[in-house]
Structure 1
Amino acid sequence: MLYKSLLLRARLATSLMFFINGVVLAIWATNIPELKRNLTLTDQQLGFALSGFAAGTMITMYIAGILATKIGTRNTLVLGGILLSFTIPLCAYAPSYTTFVASILLLGVINSIYDVAMNSHACVIEIERKKVLMPSFHALFSIGGLIGASTVAVLLSDKLGATYCLTLAGVLVFVATIISAFFLVDIRPEVQANEGKVKFRLPNRTLLYLAFLTFLALFIERTLIDWSSLYLTDISHVSTNIAALGFAGFSLAMALTRLSGDYFINKFGESKVLITSGLAGAIGLLLAIIFPTPTVSILGFLVVGLGLGNMIPVFYSRAGKVFPESPAVGYALNGTLGYTGFLIAPIIIGSVSTDYSLRIAMVLPVLAFIFLTIVHMKPKQVSITTPHAR
């Protein structure tokens, strides 16, 4: 087993990479309205352009998993961080709609390399430490998102535009990557290290099952990201500023849940935590649907954040252990399949909302929460071989 000091170094450096990824993606996302105005885009044009991020992510994830298995998650993470630092500012410098779409597609591709390596590195640290750590890593991503959004609010109030903000984001991720490169440890499962070669993998039944659970969790998350503020303005009839509190409460609750996730999962087990999480998420959304007053709706979305926070980290962690010799490939396959939930959620929710109402559409994530609760009442036994201790 690796020395504890080396594992601590690796954990701290990986934590920094999770945090900075949350910061820079929040800076990018919160500058989208200005990027839209700069290029005078319609909502339809912007929607198509933004779908390029998800498309770039999906087409690259498996390749990124193979790359991380071949050259190691540490080297892949450093490579991804450096490339990401130069890719993020491109959106602000795009002179036309075509180059804007291309820059967002490229951002999805590069961020996928970074994301796969980051989560796979965290998974290997979990394996070596023999304890749940993934929720705390994802908590730092969520905290980074809150800080990134707050940073943009300050910068925009000083009349600094998207070009400045996204260039700053590029500098931040570059500096964080260089710092982390000195502390990240090239840790690989012993099976992989001994074999020294990468095998092509297809998802087995266990991974398909995990991918479906990930699909549902990402479907819920994307629904809250895209529609919680709109729900508060259109259904609860509040101002845009007040509606932002609903999403802020959701994000903050996710971060707090993930910070405490390691403790509760190690103490009570994954199944009990996920059952409680599913029930909390379903109850929170039902509160917002049945009693759509501003106070109850905002409280409901906060409870949803408490419920959803630990689900995705747990599913990612499980996926990274399906193929002990290639955690990155397991994570990437799960992400590629599960990410379709993130891709199609806007289409499904938007269609149901148009044909019926947004309140009816929000029943769909409630059903997803209920399903995720039921399947963990009788835990699926997953046989996963853990790499030999060193």
Structure 2
Amino acid sequence: MSQTTPTSTRSRRELHAWRNAVFVIFILSGLAMASWVARIPGVRDGLGLGKDPSAVGLLILGLSAGAIVGLVAASPLLVRFGPHKGMVGGLFIVSAGMMLIGVGASIAHSVPLVAIGLILLGFGNGMVDVMMNVEGTAVEREIGKTLMPLMHACFSLGTVIGAGFGAAAAALGIDVSWHLIVTAVVIAVAIVIAVRFVPREAELGDEVANTPAVPFRQRMRENLAVWADWRLILIGVVMLGMAFGEGSANDWISLAVVDGHGQSNSTGALVFGFFVAAMTLGRVLGGPLVDRIGRVLAIRITGGLGAAGLLIFILGGPLWVVIIGTVLWGFGVSLGFPLGMSAASEGAANPAARVSAVAIIGYCAFLVGPPVIGFLGKEFGLLNALYLVLVLLIAAFAAAGAVRPVAKPAPAASPASPASEPAA
């Protein structure tokens, strides 16, 4: 049961080059974020912040603030400059931010410089998060297969690569500045090469020879108009629940295992590894599954398993029970976000604006969710705070019908066509 229908007049080779370029962009985004996360201890030591987590927390707040501004700014910037200039510019900003973090941490030993670098890293990656999803849904529509889960798996692959190189650099005693500067250069060069294989589209704001671009004001009005679409809002509910569930797990699952279930720090890290592995596997296998059973059923099955797994995790018991709950939780949140992107791009004009809108909902939930869980955890206990995630996963399950593929209107029959004649 295919979710999409091929619409492209491009050759198979061009389509595959386009798809692979988008895969690379997702990997680069994950690589950038994981490279910073892997070197947080080195940055902290280089700045002389001691063991106080609140100081590092303030720096991370700058990253989150920059990311939210980047998410909100992505849509008008996409309208103004198009995805080519937008994605290149966004990852150039990411590279500049990484360089400032490296220089500020281990050469200048300057907290303000690192803070500026983190704001730029968050802003650039927030921009690219929206734009690469817009591009991903475009190539998915033209190829006619479900690709968004695999693209998000590429982001996860980028984080694995970044974490691995970061751990190796720390183990070898490579300075934070050298590690982040070299990684930044690799990202900047790679995006310039990858974007050459992404087709230019005038309707997105790209400069296309002999094709008049849609005026900026008109495109901006069209972008804002999509927020009145209730189907799009319900797709946003699906993505809100799934992104909230993923983001909260990334930041709190290890600590919940330690503080809530009385396990060791190493066990907490191990359980988090089960979550990430389950989510990544779900995204790798998700495309063929969705093409066979449909988006709605896929989200209801995975969302239901995710809600059940989270409840098992909260209630706890022996460690093996907690791990089963964790695996179900990770698998359960794996498909909602990418499938929501695919659904948003269908059935109406201006798919880029629609994808941009739901991307903002999803990524803001991903960024805002963990601090909310932290606040509730302080008041009610971390495991009890996770009941909010459970409620949102149930809401996503209930709203899953909104991701049902929207049939494109059939072309009008010609008056001379036999099909236009009344039946005998």
Structure 2 residue corresponding to 1:132, chosen from 133, 146, 153: 146
Q: Does the CA-based 8 Å contact 2:309-2:325 persist in structure 1?
A: yes
Structure 2 residue corresponding to 1:288, chosen from 313, 316, 323: 313
Structure 1 residues 51 and 71: CA distance shift in structure 2, 3 A: same
Structure 1 residue corresponding to 2:177, chosen from 141, 152, 163: 163
Which residue of 1 is the match for residue 31 of structure 2? Answer: 23
Residue type matched to 2:98 in 1? I
- TM alignment of 1:189-268, pairs within 5 A: 196-197=214-215, 198-200=219-221, 201-202=223-224, 203-204=227-228, 205-268=230-293
Separation in structure 1 between the aligned mates of residue 127 and residue 204 of structure 2, nearest angstrom: 23
Q: How many positions carry a matched residue from both structures?
A: 386
Which residue of 2 is the match for residue 375 of structure 1? Answer: 399
Alpha-carbon displacement from aligned partner over 1:140-171 (angstroms, at most 9, x marks no partner): 11122122212222221112242233223212
Separation in structure 1 between the aligned mates of residue 409 and residue 268 of structure 2, nearest angstrom: 45
Separation in structure 2 between the aligned mates of residue 368 and residue 299 of structure 1, nearest angstrom: 20
Which residue of 2 is the match for residue 12 of structure 1? Answer: 20
Bigger mean CA deviation after superposition, 125-134 or 314-323: 314-323
Which residue of 2 is the match for residue 85 of structure 1? Answer: 95
Residue type matched to 1:275 in 2? R
Structure 1 residues 17 and 54: CA distance shift in structure 2, 3 A: same
Higher relative contact order, chain-length normalized (CA < 8 Å, sep 6+): 1
Asked if residue 324 in structure 1 is aligned to residue 349 in structure 2, the reply is yes
Structure 1 residues 98 and 81: CA distance shift in structure 2, 3 A: closer
Structure 1 residue corresponding to 2:326, chosen from 297, 301, 306: 301
Structure 1 residues 78 and 190: CA distance shift in structure 2, 3 A: closer
Alpha-carbon displacement from aligned partner over 1:294-326 (angstroms, at most 9, x marks no partner): 333233222211111111111122234476335
Q: Does the CA-based 8 Å contact 2:235-2:399 persist in structure 1?
A: no
Alpha-carbon displacement from aligned partner over 1:8-53 (angstroms, at most 9, x marks no partner): 1100111111122212211111212322232234322322321222
Alpha-carbon displacement from aligned partner over 1:161-187 (angstroms, at most 9, x marks no partner): 422332232122123213313323224
Separation in structure 1 between the aligned mates of residue 204 and residue 386 of structure 2, nearest angstrom: 45
Report the Cα offset of residue 382 of structure 1.
7.6
Report the Cα offset of residue 277 of structure 1.
0.8
Structure 1 residues 70 and 3: CA distance shift in structure 2, 3 A: farther
Q: Does the CA-based 8 Å contact 2:237-2:396 persist in structure 1?
A: no
Bigger mean CA deviation after superposition, 161-170 or 141-150: 161-170
Unaligned runs of 5+ in 1: none
Q: Does the CA-based 8 Å contact 2:90-2:124 persist in structure 1?
A: yes
Separation in structure 2 between the aligned mates of residue 385 and residue 56 of structure 1, nearest angstrom: 38
Report the Cα offset of residue 255 of structure 1.
1.4
Flag the structure with larger Rg: 2
Structure 2 residue corresponding to 1:149, chosen from 163, 169, 173: 163
Separation in structure 2 between the aligned mates of residue 322 and residue 53 of structure 1, nearest angstrom: 35
Structure 1 residues 381 and 144: CA distance shift in structure 2, 3 A: closer
- TM alignment of 1:55-134, pairs within 5 A: 55-94=65-104, 95-134=109-148
Q: Does the CA-based 8 Å contact 1:189-1:387 persist in structure 2?
A: no
Residue type matched to 1:148 in 2? G
Structure 1 residues 227 and 136: CA distance shift in structure 2, 3 A: same
Alpha-carbon displacement from aligned partner over 1:57-96 (angstroms, at most 9, x marks no partner): 2223343223334443233222323332222221222243
Structure 1 residues 275 and 381: CA distance shift in structure 2, 3 A: closer
What is the TM-score with the length of structure 1 in the denominator? 0.89
What's the secondary structure of 2:117's corresponding residue?
Answer: helix
Separation in structure 2 between the aligned mates of residue 188 and residue 255 of structure 1, nearest angstrom: 34
Q: Does the CA-based 8 Å contact 1:215-1:337 persist in structure 2?
A: yes
Report the Cα offset of residue 271 of structure 1.
0.6
What's the secondary structure of 1:339's corresponding residue?
Answer: helix
Cα RMSD, aligned residues only: 2.7
Structure 1 residues 294 and 44: CA distance shift in structure 2, 3 A: same
Structure 1 residue corresponding to 2:44, chosen from 20, 25, 36: 36
What is the TM-score with the length of structure 2 in the denominator? 0.83
Q: Does the CA-based 8 Å contact 1:22-1:141 persist in structure 2?
A: yes
